Amino acid sequence: MSDLPSVLPGIDIATGLSRVAGNKKLYLKLLRHVATDVPATLEKLSAAVAGKDAHAVREIAHSLKGASANLSITDVAASAEHLESAAKEEDFAAIATHVTGLEEVLQRYVAIIATLGDL
């Protein structure tokens, strides 16, 4: 298992570590867990958007926002929050835009976590 570096783009490591009582091994495990869930999350999100199910989009975005905020994955949390807001308004043009943005930050996040070793 790789060690946790002191800096990762888009991730507030100090705050995230404080939420797990400084346990670097646990924090790294949780970061990796979120990263491994990304493909399934994007698949569910894509199906919800295709079905014009704003409620499902909002739930997925809310769940992702919470998980990423708890780990201080700031870019993902912010992007998920924008998507959640668009879904509350049932604005499918904005939803499409925010899904694209969320996909981009999630892919960046997965790539960053992948540099830490095997997921």
pLDDT tens per residue across span 17-52? 999 999 999 999 999 999 999 999 999 999 999 999
pLDDT digits (tens, 9 = 90+) for 84-101: 999 999 999 999 999 999
CATH architecture of residue range(s) 13-114: Up-down Bundle (1.20)
**Which is more confidently placed, 104 or 7?**
104
Residue 2 has pLDDT above 70, yes or no: no
CA-closest candidate to residue 34, choices 101, 95, 100, 116: 116
pLDDT at 119 over 70: no
Q: Where are the domains of the chain?
A: 13-114
Structure confidence at residue 83 (pLDDT): 98
